[in-house]
Amino acid sequence: MKKDIEIPIAKEVNVVLVHEWNDEFLAKEWNAYIINNRTSTIEMVLIVSKGFDEDRETSTMRHSINSLPEKSFKKIELVQEEVLALNNEFFVTFFADEKLFEKRFLFLKNTVTEKHLQHIPIIDREGVIAQ
């Protein structure tokens, strides 16, 4: 029975951390975004995030998005600078094409820095793409 259950790996969906200016606090901050680069809408998107290393673990955050149209993005959460010293995991599940997809995205500790920034086309900002 277990062998009959198929959960395909999510492709063309990414999580990125974008370093952007916050006018309210007059400072740059890291924000996590989910990008749907597919040619179809994804629905019932669930995102579970946490930071961790060998000794510490943050609280688990849960987010949901009803639907995310093709070639679009949505902000997930603010990621505080202190948490970037930990591994940051975003586990994403969603429905598309009448199937359930899932994928684990990981930002290794101390890798989200200004020197690793690259252009993120759909968002049109500088950021770091998860592994």
Q: Which residues constitute the domain of residue 56? A: 2-129
* 1 band by pLDDT with thresholds 50, 70 and 90: low
pLDDT in tens, 32-46: 999 999 999 999 999
Please tell me the pTM assigned to this model: 0.91
Q: Give the C-alpha separation, 18 to 20, whole Å.
A: 6
Least Cα distance to 13 among 75, 60, 70, 52 occurs for: 70
Q: What is the CATH number of the domain that holds 95?
A: 2.60.40
Full 3-state SS string of 40-87:
CCEEEEEEEEEEECCCCECCCEEEEEEEECCCEEEEEEEECHHHHHCE
Confidence at residue 56, expressed as pLDDT on a 0 to 100 scale: 94
Structurally, the chain folds into a number of domains equal to 1
* 51 band by pLDDT with thresholds 50, 70 and 90: very high
Residue % of the chain over a pLDDT of 70? 95
Residue % of the chain over a pLDDT of 90? 78
